[in-house]
Structure 1
Amino acid sequence: MTQPPPDRGEAHTAPGPAPRGPSPWQGQGPVVAVVSLGGGIGATARYGASLLWPAQPGGFPWTTFWVNVVGCSVIGLLMVVITDIRAVHRLVRPFFGTGVLGGFTTFSTYAVDIQRLMDEGHPRTALAYLAATLLAALAAVWLAAVTARRVLAGRRA
C-alpha cells in the first residue's frame, strides 16, 4: 500500500464545480415577463380577428393579410416613436414590439395559408397572397415610419 505524501502545510481542497459567472437569465426576468404578457395580448387580438372574419375555404385569407399589414404599420410607427422621438422605459419595446405586435402579426399562419391554398389546388391565390402580403407588409412598415418621422419631427423628448 502506498502512503499519501507528507502534509507540508498546504491546503488540500476537494475538486468542486468551477466558479460560474452570472446566469444568462439574470436581469432578464422582467423582459421575459413583459414579452410573454404582450404576446398573449397580441395573440388574443389576432384570434379574435380570425373569429370575427373567418377565411373562406380556397379564398384569399383576408384576415391574416390585414392583421399582418396593420401590425407592420404599427411596428413602423412604434419604432420611430420609441427610438427617434421619445425616451421610454426599457420594457416598452419588448412589451409592445416583440410581445404585443409579435403575437398579433402571424407570418407563420401566412406560410401555412400559402401551403394550404397550394394543397387545395389554388396556386394562383397562393401566389397572389404570397406576393401581396410581402409587398403590403413592407410598404406598411416603411410608410408608417416615414409618416411618423414627418409628422412627429421636432417633438423629441
Structure 2
Amino acid sequence: MLTWAAILGGGAVGAVCRFTVNWLVERRSGPAPWATFMVNVAGSLVLGLLAGAGAALPGWVGALVGTGFCGALTTYSTFGYETVQLLRSGPGGRGWAVLNVLASLVVGLGAAALGWQLGSLR
C-alpha cells in the first residue's frame, strides 16, 4: 500500500510541475516544444540520479520519485505529437523536427549519464 501512495503522491507533484513548466514556457515562447524538451531532460537527469544511487536508496524513493514524479513529469507522447506537428508545418518545420529528435536524444541521454555519475558519488 505504501508503494501505491508513493506513486500517487509523486505523480501529483510531477503533474503539477509539468503543467507549471508548460504554462511558464508557453507564455514566453509560444507553442514551441521547449517545455516538453525541458521536462524530459529534467526527468532524465533525475532518473539518472536515482539509478546511480541504486541500492543506497530505499525502495519507496524509486516509487515516489522515479515512477510517480518522473512518470508524471516526462512525456513521450507529447514529444511525438509535437515532432509530428513540426513535420507538418512545412519545409522549415522538417529541420526543426529532426533537430527536436536529435537534441532530445543527445541531451536526454547526456542528462541521464550525468545524473548516473552524480548519483554514484559516495
TM over 0.5: yes
Q: Report the Cα distance in structure 1 between the residues aligned to 2:94 and 2:57, rounded to whole angstroms.
A: 46
1:102 paired residue number: 71
Bigger Rg, which one: 1
Pairs within 5 Å for 1:20-99: 29-54=1-26, 55-57=29-31, 59=32, 61-81=33-53, 83-84=54-55, 86-88=56-58, 90-99=59-68
For these two proteins, the number of residue pairs brought into alignment is 118
Task: Give the counterpart letter for 1:52 in structure 2.
Answer: L
Deviation at 1:106, TM superposition (A): 1.4
The gaps in structure 1 that reach 5 residues or longer are 1-28
| Larger RCO (alpha carbons 8 Å, 6+ apart) | 2
Q: Report the Cα distance in structure 1 between the residues aligned to 2:57 and 2:50, rounded to whole angstroms.
A: 12
Deviation at 1:30, TM superposition (A): 3.1
Judged with a 3 Å threshold, the aligned counterparts in structure 2 of structure 1 residues 71 and 87 are, in CA distance, closer, same or farther, namely: closer
1:131 aligned onto 2:102: yes
Q: Report the Cα distance in structure 1 between the residues aligned to 2:30 and 2:57, rounded to whole angstroms.
A: 44
Aligned-pair RMSD on alpha carbons? 1.7
Q: Which runs of 4+ in 1 moved over 4 A?
A: none
Q: Report the Cα distance in structure 2 between the residues aligned to 1:40 and 1:147, rounded to whole angstroms.
A: 26
Indicate the structure with greater helix content.
2
1:145 aligned onto 2:119: no
Q: Report the Cα distance in structure 2 between the residues aligned to 1:148 and 1:134, rounded to whole angstroms.
A: 21
Task: Give the counterpart letter for 1:56 in structure 2.
Answer: G
Q: Report the Cα distance in structure 2 between the residues aligned to 1:145 and 1:48, rounded to whole angstroms.
A: 26
